[in-house]
């Protein structure tokens, strides 16, 4: 067997290169072709990883199976994602598809084992060993306010460049609800609509300028987000995380462009993301010092308040919380009573908030159609690309007419969701769920392709933006209504707009990867694998909320960076704090 293993590695390495060239051999992608001298060093490198990676596997403990599982997940993401990106569908009957998944899984697993066994220990030593005395002395003197002021200072150029702030995404709709009279709808979070609209209206009334109002909002949001990120860094320092790791986290917060842009962008996801980071920080304190945490009224009240605010800023947080309760009760079963209070009191407060505030403000109910985005897309894909009988088609035509179904865009549900008759669907929910199951059984590949198209940007790291098939940008940078850009640093504004609207970062190899949303999901999967293998289940508890939020995003109308942003900004906290578990 030992003589056969090298031959297996050499064969799989060659098949990997062959499958890679076939999968990426399209006119829309820059790839290494089969006839290319660079395939020789690449093949040698792949074989090196295979020999050294799989050599480690037999000596690992009983949890070693987690690495092949994650390797298979990574490979499926790559193969399915590439097919979706290039052709809008995956051919599940193609031998090349499954051969590629096998060879990619084999190589990916070896790479994971190599990183875990060879690279990770070296990185850990570098990051946790003490630096020189001057840096340690400086680190010892830095406090929360230093971090806070530094982040604000580094983000001010973003505000000056995009002065008075970025009123994109849903801002225009929200601002239309707040004027001389209120015309609120629950489709967008009321708390955010009132904050944004209130600031802009204040500017209009007292300064005769919507721009001044937008500036006030931007400054408030910068203070909130930078304050929570500063607390994150302070928390790491308080728990004796190394200066190098804390410095890397600071660099990420201060200099990654999407942090500075979202800090001045009038989308609910910005403040929600910061609050979500605070939730993970508090949960980390809960894990590190469980007894004192659960005996502290201060921490309990703060955690309840944070969860309540999260519930008011995004509707999907409620579903994530309800799903998390199951895992939280198991993970913290010793404190199950406290967990029930921490999880359900915010829900009761949310009900009270909506019951008391909404009638007084005459808030119109929102449409729940976004929750059915996946079902809509799967119905539409079957309607347009499969054969269905007349009775089933009649039921679908009751939800929207033929022309509307034909407006189907695979990458987002916005094209058809506004035509979706939610009342008919909900009033006949049993009938339509039976139809959904029936059509799914008859057309499983159509259902899978519809789901993959809608969500692939969350898990496929090679997504290309702007999306040529639909309107989908990296970060939307434009003004609206009577708010207009008046850049104080035009050259920087031009650079930032290219990053947001044209995804110009894609022109820079290696660096571009850290801009990709899916990259952070891959990191968290690897972090999970390493901690699962090492049986650090106390740390894995911190992944409950990111995992449940991610699951709710998979049911959303489109895959955008801003939706994944709350999970992304937790990564520079989760990795350093992992060293304390």
Q: What is the residue-level pLDDT of the chain in tens, covering all 581 positions?
A: 677 998 999 999 999 988 888 887 654 444 445 667 888 898 999 999 999 999 999 999 999 999 999 999 999 999 999 999 999 999 999 999 999 999 999 999 999 999 999 999 998 888 877 666 777 788 889 999 999 999 999 999 999 999 999 998 899 999 999 987 889 999 899 999 999 999 999 999 999 999 999 999 999 999 999 999 999 999 999 999 999 999 999 999 999 999 999 999 999 999 999 999 999 999 999 999 999 999 999 999 999 999 999 999 999 999 999 999 999 999 999 999 999 999 999 999 999 999 999 999 999 988 888 889 999 999 999 999 999 999 999 999 999 999 999 999 999 998 899 899 999 999 999 999 999 999 999 999 999 999 999 999 999 999 999 988 888 999 999 888 789 999 999 999 999 999 999 999 999 999 999 999 999 999 999 999 999 999 999 999 999 999 999 999 999 999 999 999 999 999 999 999 999 99
Predicted confidence at residue 31, as pLDDT, reads 45
Instruction: Provide Rg for the chain, Cα atoms.
Output: 25
pLDDT at 456: 95
3-state helix, strand, coil in the chain (%, to 5): 75, 0, 25
Nearby residues of 552 by Cβ (< 8 Å), 6 or more positions away: 316, 319, 320, 323
- pLDDT (0 to 100) of residue 27: 44
Neighbouring C-alpha atoms within 13 Å toward the C-beta of 188 = 23
How far apart CA 311 and CA 337 sit, in angstroms, is: 21
What are 265's strand-pairing partners?
166
What are the tokens at 553? 């995003």
Closest CA to 147 of 265, 7, 254, 284: 254
Cα–Cα distance for residue pair 559/357, rounded to 1 Å: 32
Measured in degrees and rounded to the nearest 5, phi and psi for residue 101 equal: -60, -40
DSSP 366: P
Question: How far, rounded to the nearest angstrom, does the alpha carbon of residue 3 sit from its chain's CA centroid?
Answer: 45
Note the pLDDT of residue 34: 63
Give CA–CA dist 24/446, Å, rounded: 23
HSE of 102, CA atoms in CB hemisphere, 13 A: 13
Query: Cβ contacts of residue 153 below 8 Å, gap of 6+?
Result: none
Helix (H) or strand (E) holding 581: none
Cα separation, 70 vs 528, in Å, equals: 9
Q: Which residues are 488's β-sheet partners?
A: none
* Three-state secondary structure string covering 485-518: CCCCCHHHHHHHHHHHHHCHHHHCCCHHHHHCHH
Q: What are the φ and ψ backbone dihedral angles of 485, each rounded to 5 degrees?
A: -65, 140
- State whether residue 535 is helix, strand or coil: coil
C-alpha separations of 448 from 79, 251, 377, 445, 453 in Å: 14, 39, 10, 5, 9
- Identify whether the C-beta of residue 151 lies closer than 8 Å to the C-beta of residue 226: yes
pLDDT of residue 29: 43
């Amino acid at each position: 067997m030992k003589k056969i293993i090298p031959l297996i590695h050499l064969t799989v390495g060659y098949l990997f290169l062959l499958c890679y060239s076939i999968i990426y051999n399209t006119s829309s992608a820059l790839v290494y072709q089969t006839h290319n001298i660079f395939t020789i060093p690449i093949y040698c490198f792949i074989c090196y990883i295979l020999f050294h990676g799989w050599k480690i596997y037999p000596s690992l403990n009983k949890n070693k199976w987690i690495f092949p599982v994650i390797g298979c997940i990574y490979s499926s993401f790559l193969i399915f994602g590439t097919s979706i990106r290039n052709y809008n569908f995956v051919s599940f009957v193609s031998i090349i598809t499954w051969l590629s998944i096998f060879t990619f899984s084999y190589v990916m697993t070896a790479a994971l084992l190599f990183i875990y066994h060879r690279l990770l220990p070296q990185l850990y030593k570098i990051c946790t060993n003490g630096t020189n005395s001057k840096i340690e002395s400086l680190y010892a003197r830095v406090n929360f306010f230093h971090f806070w002021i530094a982040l604000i200072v580094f983000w001010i150029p973003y505000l000056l460049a995009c002065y008075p702030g970025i009123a994109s995404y849903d801002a225009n709709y929200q601002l239309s609800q707040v004027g001389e009279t209120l015309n609120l709808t629950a489709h967008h979070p009321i708390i955010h609509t009132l904050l944004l609209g209130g600031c802009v209206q204040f500017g209009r009334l007292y300064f005769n300028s919507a721009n001044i109002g937008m500036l006030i909002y931007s400054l408030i949001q910068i203070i909130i987000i930078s304050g929570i990120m500063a607390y994150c860094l302070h928390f790491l320092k308080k728990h004796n995380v190394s200066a190098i790791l804390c410095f890397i986290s600071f660099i990420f917060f201060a200099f990654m462009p999407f942090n500075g842009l979202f800090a001045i962008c009038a989308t609910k996801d910005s403040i929600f993301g910061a609050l979500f980071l605070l939730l993970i920080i508090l949960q980390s304190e809960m894990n590190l010092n469980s007894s004192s945490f659960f005996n502290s009224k201060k921490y309990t009240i703060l955690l309840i308040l944070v969860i309540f605010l999260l519930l008011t800023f995004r509707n999907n947080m409620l579903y994530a919380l309800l799903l998390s309760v199951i895992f939280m009760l198991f993970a913290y079963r010793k404190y199950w009573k406290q967990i029930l209070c921490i999880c359900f009191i915010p829900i009761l407060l949310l009900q009270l908030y909506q019951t008391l505030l909404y009638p007084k403000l005459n808030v119109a109910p929102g449409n729940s159609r976004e929750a059915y985005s996946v079902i809509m897309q799967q119905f539409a894909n079957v309607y347009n690309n499969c054969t269905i009988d007349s009775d089933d088609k009649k039921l679908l035509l009751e939800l929207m007419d033929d022309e509307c179904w034909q407006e189907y865009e695979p990458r987002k549900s916005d094209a058809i969701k506004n035509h979706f008759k939610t009342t008919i669907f909900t009033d006949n929910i049993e009938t339509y769920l039976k139809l959904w199951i029936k059509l799914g059984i008859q057309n499983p590949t159509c259902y899978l392709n519809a789901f993959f198209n809608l969500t692939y940007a969350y898990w496929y790291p090679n997504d290309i933006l702007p999306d040529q098939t639909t309107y989908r940008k990296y970060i939307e940078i434009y003004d609206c209504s009577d708010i207009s850009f008046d850049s104080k640093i035009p050259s920087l504004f031009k650079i930032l707009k290219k990053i947001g609207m044209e995804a110009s970062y894609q022109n820079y190899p290696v660096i571009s990867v850290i801009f990709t949303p899916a990259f952070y999901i891959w990191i968290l999967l690897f972090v999970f694998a390493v901690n699962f293998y090492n049986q650090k289940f106390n740390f894995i508890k911190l992944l409950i909320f990111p995992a449940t939020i991610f699951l709710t995003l998979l049911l959303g109308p489109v895959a955008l960076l801003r939706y994944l942003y709350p999970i992304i900004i937790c990564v520079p906290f989760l990795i350093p704090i992992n060293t304390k578990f």
